[in-house]
């Protein structure tokens, strides 16, 4: 999902949170302190036999991101860097990571490499591995399944399921904005979570309103049948086991859920006025 232009002047520092053994969500946010809603810009790292970086955060968080990542895993140990899709909030620090991690291979697809190539991707082809939806990444002590989430905003999107821990990295899916940065969905009011969940997913993937609900449910079942114990999302708090079924239910309803209106020009006028108006 593209992000609002109002990154906070002094964003709060959010530390990585361990969501399963040897598995951390690296937290970051935009909007905190300057907007009514905060959107997470998370990524993940799995410190197994062959450590796996899953998405690489936003460029605006680079220093914080690299500090957090390399506080968990040594650069020389990183073996895989999985990019879930070609949006800048997911590959924003890819080249910095690949430069720091000489033994890492970028996991993309043909199409993902093509799309990043148009942006001047500096990672050479001999450091790529192309794995698409339905493929498996053998990371030594675990075989990570790449499974496209039901909601996505790029054709290159694949999620990552770790059968050793039951953690599913959902990329943009199962997300929800929050009032303040929040590590786990269990900390949220249930109704506010449901409202934010519907809003985010409908705005990020408006095509879901065109989809037959039964056809969409078939796609939802691909993730449901993995029986994830934890769903980690780039753009929301992590969903732990007690809330996983509720997340499945919320997602399946999307084709018949009305999307609320997005902020319009009047909102932008208010933002500009609050920032002191147009410089003359
Ligand atoms: Fe996206
Ligand atoms: Fe995203």
Ion ligand 1: residues, Cβ under 5 Å: 1, 87, 153, 172
Could you tell me where the DSSP H helices lie in 205-255? 213-224, 241-252
pLDDT value at residue 46: 98
pLDDT digits (tens, 9 = 90+) for 200-223: 999 999 999 999 999 999 999 999
CA of 70 to the centre of ligand 2 (A): 22
Residue 269, CB-side half-sphere exposure with 13 Å CA sphere? 3
Distance 47 CA to ligand 2 centre (A): 23
Distances in Å between the Cα of 158 and the Cα atoms of 109, 145, 155, 235 are 10, 9, 9, 15
pTM for the full model? Answer: 0.94
Specify the pLDDT at position 2: 41
Q: What is the pLDDT of residue 278?
A: 76
What pLDDT sits at residue 253?
A: 97
Maximum C-alpha span of the chain: 61
The closest of 223, 234, 235 to 176, measured between CA atoms, is: 235
Positive or negative torsion for Cα 112, 118, 124, 125: positive
Q: Which residues of the chain have pLDDT under 50?
A: 2-5, 7-8
> Residue 216 corresponds to which tokens in the numbers above?
């969409």
CB-CB contact of 98 with 81 (8 Å) = yes
Q: How far is the CA of 177 from the centre of ligand 2 (A)?
A: 12
DSSP 13: P
**pLDDT one-digit tens code per residue, 232-275:** 999 999 999 999 999 999 999 999 999 999 999 999 999 899 88
Q: What is the dihedral sign for C-alpha 5, 151, 13, 184? A: positive
């Amino acid at each position: 999902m593209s992000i609002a232009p109002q990154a906070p002047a002094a964003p709060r520092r959010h530390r990585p949170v361990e969501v399963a053994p040897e598995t951390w969500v690296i937290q970051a946010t935009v909007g905190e302190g300057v907007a009514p809603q905060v959107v997470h810009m998370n990524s993940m790292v799995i410190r197994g036999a062959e450590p796996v970086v899953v998405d690489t955060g936003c460029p605006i968080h680079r220093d914080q991101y690299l500090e957090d990542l390399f506080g968990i895993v040594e650069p020389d140990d990183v073996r895989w860097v999985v990019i879930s899709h070609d949006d800048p909030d997911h590959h924003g620090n890819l080249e910095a990571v690949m430069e720091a991690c000489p033994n890492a291979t970028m996991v993309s697809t043909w199409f993902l490499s093509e799309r990043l190539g148009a942006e001047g991707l500096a990672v050479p082809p001999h450091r790529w591995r192309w794995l698409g939806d339905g493929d498996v990444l053998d990371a030594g002590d675990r075989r990570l399944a790449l499974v496209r989430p039901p909601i996505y905003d790029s054709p290159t999107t694949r999620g990552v399921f770790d059968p050793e821990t039951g953690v599913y990295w959902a990329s943009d899916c199962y997300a929800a904005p929050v009032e303040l940065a929040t590590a786990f969905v269990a900390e949220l009011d249930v109704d506010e979570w449901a409202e934010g969940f519907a809003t985010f997913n409908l705005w990020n993937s408006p095509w879901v309103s065109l989809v037959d609900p039964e056809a969409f449910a078939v796609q939802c079942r691909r993730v449901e049948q993995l029986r994830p114990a934890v769903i980690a999302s780039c753009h929301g708090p992590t969903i732990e086991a007690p809330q996983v079924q509720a997340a499945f239910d919320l997602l399946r309803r999307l084709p018949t859920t009305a999307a609320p209106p997005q902020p319009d020009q009047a909102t932008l006028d208010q933002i500009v006025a609050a920032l002191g108006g147009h410089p003359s």
